[in-house]
A and B are shown apart, each in its own frame.
Chain A
Amino acid sequence: MKKVIVFATLRESILDPQGVAVKGGLAQLGFTGVEEVRIGKRIELLVTDETTDMMVREMCERLLVNPVMEDYEFSIEEVASV
């Protein structure tokens, strides 16, 4: 088995209002050195060994990520079969 970890983040050109609100919260706590906060998603998939990078990329582009608003990257690591 392999573990795929997908990170989806809002594209640079898009304002992240959640991030802006969290930045305000941090400033409220006294962390005034925070320049920017951007919030994304981490998606974990447990897949069979036959799953290729290209298949993961297709999963991302067809469902897991909306390329109009999000960028993504993923990593694949081997895990011991259960």
Chain B
Amino acid sequence: MKFAVIVFPGSNCDLDMYHAVTDALGEEASYVFHTETSLDGFDAVLLPGGFSYGDYLRCGAIAQFSPIMEEVKRFATEGKPVLGVCNGFQVLVEAGLLPGVLLRNKELKFMCRTTRLKVANASTCFTSDYADGEVIDIPIAHGEGNYYCDDATYAMLKTHGQIAFTYVDNPNGSRGDIAGITNRTGNVLGMMPHPERAVEALLGSTDGLRLFTSLVKQGANHVKTTV
């Protein structure tokens, strides 16, 4: 399976993503610069964390107009997996691929620590290697991860099983303890915690690795059914 790691000016978790895919997962990955316009040959897209375009105006606001984002949108509408982590999540909501918005953390502090997450929906292509309700350890590192959406959107997220992960101890004020959501069709996931930083025991947790193994399994099934 071949993963594209999108690199915006100001991305800083692109190397972590690449490392997680190639060294911990043992799959292929390539960096795709924000100025590029094609994702041909890739099976999944990863939008890494960081501070794209310096977080100017709003987090993710400028990155949504990068040339590669049109192609990411096309890739997503084809039903292929797109994962945005941290700033990648912020880019996905600004680009309209996911509903809602990420506000400043309730306590105004940048938080960098391991959090416990509950797997709220283990039937997505990103979470199938977890069990429903399972609690996992994944680090966060953000100042603006306070997920907000209006009542109608929140009800829709719940109805359609779009809430993938929730915080056990809400660190940032997110509505409904939301840590990660998918789109309606389940092939786009945005989450503030960093699964790519939890793929080796040496770094404190391997709980993030199963997100990537889930994708590889789904990819393999997809190939089987389409061949």
Contact = CB atoms under 8 A, between A and B. Distances in A.
Interface residues of B, number: 19
Where chain B touches its partner, the secondary structure class is: loop
B219 interface: no
B57 A17 contact: no
Where chain A touches its partner, the secondary structure class is: loop
15 contacts: A13-B150, A14-B103, A14-B148, A15-B106, A17-B105, A17-B107, A63-B57, A63-B61, A66-B58, A66-B61, A66-B94, A68-B99, A68-B100, A68-B148, A68-B150
B112 interface: no
Contacts of B93: 68
A51 B49 CA distance: 36
Interface string B147-161: 011100000000000
B104 interface: yes
A21 interface: yes
B220 interface: no
Interface string B74-95: 0000000000000000000110
Contacts, number: 32
A51 B61 CA distance: 23
B4 interface: no
Most buried by B among A13, A15, A64, A68: A68
Interface in A7-24: 13-15, 17-18, 21
B104 A68 contact: no
A45 interface: no
B220 to A, nearest CB: 37
B170 to A, nearest CB: 14
Contacts of B61: 63, 66
Contacts of B107: 17
